[in-house]
Amino acid sequence: MTEYGPKEKFSLGITALILLKTGDLIVGTGEGIVALCKGSNYKAMKRIQVQGGVTSLTCRGEGHQFFVGTNMCQMYRINYTAFKEELIAACHNEAVNDIVFPVGTSDLFATCSKNDIRVWHTPENRELLRIVIPNMTCYAIEFMKDGKSIISAWNDGKIRAFMPETGRLMYVINNAHSLGVTAIAATNDCKRIVSGGGEGQVRVWAIGEKTRKLEAVLKEHISTVSCIKLKKNDQECVTASLDGTCIIWDIVRSVRKQMILANTLFKCVCYHPEEYQLITSGTDRRIAYWEVFDGSAIRDLEGSLSGSINGMDITSDGAYFVTGGDDHLVKMWDYKEGTVTHVGVGHSGNITRLKICPGNKYIVSVSADGAILLWKYPDFP
């Protein structure tokens, strides 16, 4: 039997095949080669390379076109006669950790995952830019308010800033945190960055034209900092941590103002737009409202029936907020009433973060299975 069959072999195995009506074969391999094989000895006449190993091939119509799917979450359309590939769809192939909109526009948003940051064009649902840092995981991203850079938090303990149009690296802050940078936020005047790390420290960085200086180290949390939100006046911020505390800091004097304690791992925190209240949530599945002034609890809602709440965002007028978590549901809440007004069913993995776009056109949620879902913002009567 070893004497039979073609002499030429493909590397990493053959993962997909199509038999055409002409008797020719189209072969997809684990290395990402798509080849057209003819004749009795199946000699490869044409071959092209796609990104990632081929997982599926399918014909369209009479076989004049066919589609290729790969394990890097890329979909290609290939014309049979020209045998050239055209990318028609792409997405993350690892858990998506964060989603952000730039200030004042809903047409763009950025997401981050293992290996890369991607910028998407909302109306056409297509990828505009991909910034690749191989084998590193990006935990959090933020657009600077002036729109001149994307700052990102990575598991190798570095803060990296990129140009939003080209993806060129602008600067790196090395050794920003010892156990990876897990949360990041920038002030409105774009002169400071507040970062949180896996070891629980919160650090304030002064960002100059060509310099990056450490201004303050705030050591209170004893576990990973999961979320950082700043006040509009750039003088105060709140950090949520997995140690069961949320701390309100004065970042001008670098001191603690208030501490919120609860029997939960805090995953997310939001300032009400008028900044006199906070809402928090986490693994105890409860949404809690807190007074910013003295850190006292105002009220407590049952946020989910199963699983932690990982992400929340509030509208610019503070009337509604959205939450998402391990129950795979996007829920819209009335802030004053504390009731669910709408529920979105669509995710098949745990929701990691979600955002309401500026201007309330969409809600975008991202999940641990690599999905990015766009929801139409509901019309309220």
- pLDDT tier at 5, thresholds 50, 70, 90: low
Is the per-residue pLDDT at 63 higher than 70?
A: yes
Is the per-residue pLDDT at 120 higher than 80?
A: yes
Tokens encoding 333: 């809440």
Q: What's the pLDDT score for residue 1?
A: 65
As a CATH number, domain 96-376 is 2.130.10.10
User: What tens digit of pLDDT does each residue of 150-196 get?
Assistant: 999 999 999 999 998 898 999 999 999 999 999 999 999 989 999 99
Question: Region 104-133: what's the mean pLDDT?
Answer: 91
For residues 53 and 34, what is the distance between their CA atoms, to the nearest angstrom? 10
Nearest to 111 by CA among 378, 377, 351: 351
Is the per-residue pLDDT at 332 higher than 70?
A: yes
Is the per-residue pLDDT at 317 higher than 70?
A: yes
Alpha-carbon distance values, 349 to 47, 109, 110, 366, 372 (Å)? 36, 21, 20, 9, 11
Fold matches, 14-90 and 96-376: no
pLDDT over 70, % of the chain? 98
Question: Region 340-351: what's the mean pLDDT?
Answer: 92
For residues 268 and 71, what is the distance between their CA atoms, to the nearest angstrom? 32
Q: What's the pLDDT score for residue 197?
A: 92
Ranges of each domain in the chain: 14-90, 96-376
Question: Region 63-89: what's the mean pLDDT?
Answer: 89
Q: What's the pLDDT score for residue 143?
A: 93
- pLDDT tier at 80, thresholds 50, 70, 90: confident
Mean of all residue pLDDT scores within the chain: 90
- Contact between 354 and 99 (Cβ < 8 Å): yes
Q: What is the CA radius of gyration of the chain?
A: 24
As a CATH number, domain 14-90 is 2.40.10.480
Is the per-residue pLDDT at 207 higher than 70?
A: yes
pTM: 0.87
Question: Region 57-79: what's the mean pLDDT?
Answer: 89
The secondary structure of 24-93 as a DSSP string is: -EEEEETTSEEEEEETTTTEEEEEEE-SS-EEEEEEETTTTEEEEEETTSEEEEEETTT--EEEEEE--S
User: What tens digit of pLDDT does each residue of 19-46 get?
Assistant: 888 888 889 999 889 998 887 777 888 8
- pLDDT tier at 209, thresholds 50, 70, 90: confident
